[in-house]
A and B are shown apart, each in its own frame.
Chain A
Amino acid sequence: MAISKESNNSPLPKHTAVDQEDLVDDNTILVQRTLRSGQTISYHGNVVVLGDVNPGAEIAATGNIIVMGALRGVVHAGAGGDENAIVLAFKLQPTQLRISDHITRPPDNEAIDTAHPEMARIKDGVVTIEAFQTPPERQAKP
């Protein structure tokens, strides 16, 4: 998947530790629709989608990708080399998921039902998927 030239020119932000504060980026685009087959977004920064990402749609971002809906297409977070980028979706069922230069796909012949929001990130050099939970210190006090 090619990233448009503009998005590759400027230098990428350097991250030192895997901390949530590091996920903050000045450049964030809000996509307020469902991405359908054949539609693509490539962006220098973070991409937030309010809708689904259908099979056949593609997102490439130098930062993080957050989908407030079902993610069924191809996504590439940290395109350009950011190993700390994450992909987060309410329903994480991508055709293919790429972070930096790691490429993963879901296992064959295995229907995964994702009931909770999940987050993909690189941990110890491997793309891992875990249930997304707000850290305790950020949860609303009862």
Chain B
Amino acid sequence: MGEVIVITSGKGGVGKTTTAANVGAGLAYLGKKVVLVDTDIGLRNLDMALGLENRIVFDIVDVTSGNCRLRQALIKDKRLDGLHLLPAAQTKDKTAVSPEQMKALCDDLRQEFEYIIIDCPAGIEQGFRNAIAGADKAIVITTPEVSAVRDADRIIGLLEASELREPALIVNRIRPKMVRQGDMMSIEDIIDILAVDLLGVIPEDEMIVITTNRGEPVVLDQSSRLGQSYRNIVKRILGEDVPMMSLDEEGFFGKIRKMFGMR
């Protein structure tokens, strides 16, 4: 039986879709059978992060309303054998699917996949209700901004009310230099307020813009620090005990080591 993990945040633009794409690709790279479900109906994005936009024929609404079979709507990834995508509909809205339908859909996907990763839309309305309906676990994403942390806190409260206890936290787009100067919230400050377990930290990096626009998950880039931070998260999801990556900039010796291909 597969595990259904919802990736959510409350606030928009903190990296839910990017994280979903990378966690999904990372799990598939390690040989797991994974399906990514985009529940952001009307604002379809996850297909672009994976570079699968031009392959969509049927979508999640076609499946839940019985227009097609589940198998027909699933898109196989072009790079990874184990990775599949169930895209959102672009021409409908969030009311096109009900929480009960989502629950049934998750149960169907559970039969066939080891990990079902659900990309949740921003907000706390029906889209969010749908996304969490069938989930076993939740990953909450935030950035080190007071508004994002406030929304994450609200989301954790709503998850707890829906019996999704002990969500894991990912802090995205942290800038170690600004934290050191006291201009940005630190991981400790965020944990102090949210009081949940930390699953991973992703540093701010221009590279994510490039890879996401190209539709290539950065987790597959073995040489980058950014890819490493996603790979660590994937390993922790699989139950490995991976220490948190030091956030300090590499420094002189780090650069030399990089030149010689040592990591």
Interface on A for B, CB 8 Å cutoff?
34, 36-39, 52, 54-56, 70, 72
Contacts and interface: CB of A to CB of B under 8 A. Distances in A.
B150 A34 contact: no
B169 to A, nearest CB: 13
Majority-rule SS of A interface residues: loop
A133 B195 CA distance: 28
Contacts of A70: 192
A36 B160 CA distance: 10
A37 B157 contact: yes
Contacts of A55: 146, 150, 153, 193
Interface range on chain B (Cβ under 8 Å from partner): 10 to 19
A49 B192 CA distance: 17
B136 interface: no
Nearest to A33: B160
Interface string B146-186: 10001101101110100000000000000000000000000
Contacts of A72: 193
A36 B153 CA distance: 6
Contacts of B156: 36
Contacts of B157: 36-39
A37 B151 CA distance: 7
23 contacts: A36-B154, A36-B156, A36-B157, A36-B160, A37-B150, A37-B151, A37-B153, A37-B157, A38-B157, A38-B158, A39-B157, A52-B193, A52-B195, A54-B153, A55-B146, A55-B150, A55-B153, A55-B193, A56-B150, A56-B153, A56-B154, A70-B192, A72-B193
